[in-house]
Amino acid sequence: MKSIKITNTGGPEVLKLEDITLEKPGADEVQIEHVSIGLNYIDTYHRSGLYPLQLPTGIGMEAAGIIKEVGSNVLNFSVGDKIAYAAAPLGAYSTHRNYTSKNIVKVPDDIDLEKISSAMTKGMTTFYLLHKTYVPKKDETVLFHAAAGGVGQFFCQWAKSLGLKVIGTVGSDEKVEIAKKYGCDEVINYSKEDFAKKVLELTNDKGVSVVYDGVGKTTYDRSIQCLKLRGTMVSFGNASGPLDPIIVSQSLQPKGIYFVRPAMNQYFTNSEEIQEAADMLFKQISSGNVKIEIFKKYRLEDVVQAHKDLEGRKITGPAVIIP
Ligand SMILES: NC(=O)c1ccc[n+]([C@@H]2O[C@H](COP(=O)([O-])OP(=O)(O)OC[C@H]3O[C@@H](n4cnc5c(N)ncnc54)[C@H](OP(=O)(O)O)[C@@H]3O)[C@@H](O)[C@H]2O)c1
């Protein structure tokens, strides 16, 4: 049994592979043998210290696998069940782990464990962004940044299935076609073009009613420019760095903007909320509305490279670690 541990925060090199032994699972836990582990940008925030953790710690939010043992209080799961999860406590980067049964869901037989391991965080995030945080109406135009990335591919396909018009941004020309393939109606290369100007052009100067912004520091000001009067700014990530302090009188007040900074732990506080999101995700996958193509498979030994690729903007789609 092996697990990635960090004892210091820093660059990708702080990720260390260790041999582990596991106790029997606690009364409310199950012991899982991971089949596949999802790679997420948030893992880099945990590793770098942007989101502080108590050290030493495991790392990784999501995985899928098979239950090998159940704790004495666990009644709704059995040995051999195919399960997946996307929640703290961290430690998904491992071959095996003991994990709380309240955060896991059973995976339907028609859904592949490798694919679902890449989808729990990205898909459940998409679910809450579109069905809870700001719920766009059919035909509404929305803007999503980093549309060719992991969450981007889930979000854009899901948004299309709801009848929305999706404008996506990407950082290179080669990502334009990828974003289109996964559901964007219009794609702007924001490394070359002023995306706010282009969004206003595309919307006849009206702007969009909502921006879903996981890029953060470098896109905030222009995202606000893209919004309609009383539009909603959903700032759900910081791939380019955390936001500078917001000057309310300058960025929110002129158009009466609603600003929200959501995270998964506010939307998935109990098993019912997790199951609701997972059921919607499974339905979107089984119906073909959301297609998952694994972009790359890393070995547990290669997580340093995986983090370099994430931060180097080289990942175009869901990537997994095979333990
Ligand atoms: N709040 C939540 O609940 C929640 C949950 C899951 C994910 N997230 C956030 O959603 C975002 C996407 O996550 P993901 O795992 O799917 O990652 P990802 O989109 O695959 O990777 C991040 C992308 O951000 C773009 N980017 C722009 N500026 C960047 C910079 N300076 N450095 C690195 N990347 C930059 C890059 O795309 P381009 O080259 O196209 O610009 C890059 O590929 C992240 O911010 C993540 O934290 C939030």
Which residues, given as ranges, of the chain have pLDDT below 70? none
pLDDT at position 59: 98
Q: Compute the distance from residue 77 Cα to the ligand 1 centre, in Å.
A: 34
Q: How open is the CA angle 131-35-281, to the nearest 5 degrees?
A: 15
CATH superfamily of 122-264: NAD(P)-binding Rossmann-like Domain (3.40.50.720)
**Tokens 């990537």 belong to which residue?**
319
CATH superfamily of 2-119+292-322: Medium-chain alcohol dehydrogenases, catalytic domain (3.90.180.10)
Residue nearest to atom 18 of ligand 1 (CA): 149
Domain 2-119+292-322 matches domain 122-264 at the CATH topology level: no
R_g of the chain, CA atoms, integer Å: 20
| CA dihedral of residues 144, 150, 154, 159 (deg, nearest 10) | 0
Q: Where do the domains of the chain lie?
A: 2-119+292-322, 122-264
Residues 63 and 94: their CA atoms lie apart, in Å, by: 9
Q: Cis omega (within 30 of 0) on the bond before 89?
A: yes
pLDDT at position 227: 98
Nearest residue to 122 (alpha-carbon basis) of 98, 158, 93: 158
Task: Tell me whether strands 2-6 and 16-19 are parallel, antiparallel or unpaired.
Answer: antiparallel
**Measured from the CA of 311, which atom of ligand 1 is nearest?**
33
The response to whether residue 215 sits with its C-beta less than 6 Å from ligand 1 reads yes
pLDDT at position 63: 98
Average pLDDT across the chain, whole number: 97
Residues 99 and 37: their CA atoms lie apart, in Å, by: 14
pLDDT at position 173: 97
The response to whether residue 58 sits with its C-beta less than 6 Å from ligand 1 reads no
pLDDT at position 217: 98
Residues 96 and 276: their CA atoms lie apart, in Å, by: 26
What's the pLDDT tens digit per position in 280-309? 999 999 999 999 999 999 999 999 999 999
Nearest residue to 286 (alpha-carbon basis) of 276, 274, 278, 294: 278
Residues 60 and 42: their CA atoms lie apart, in Å, by: 8
The response to whether residue 238 sits with its C-beta less than 6 Å from ligand 1 reads yes
Q: Compute the distance from residue 156 Cα to the ligand 1 centre, in Å.
A: 14
The response to whether residue 93 sits with its C-beta less than 6 Å from ligand 1 reads no
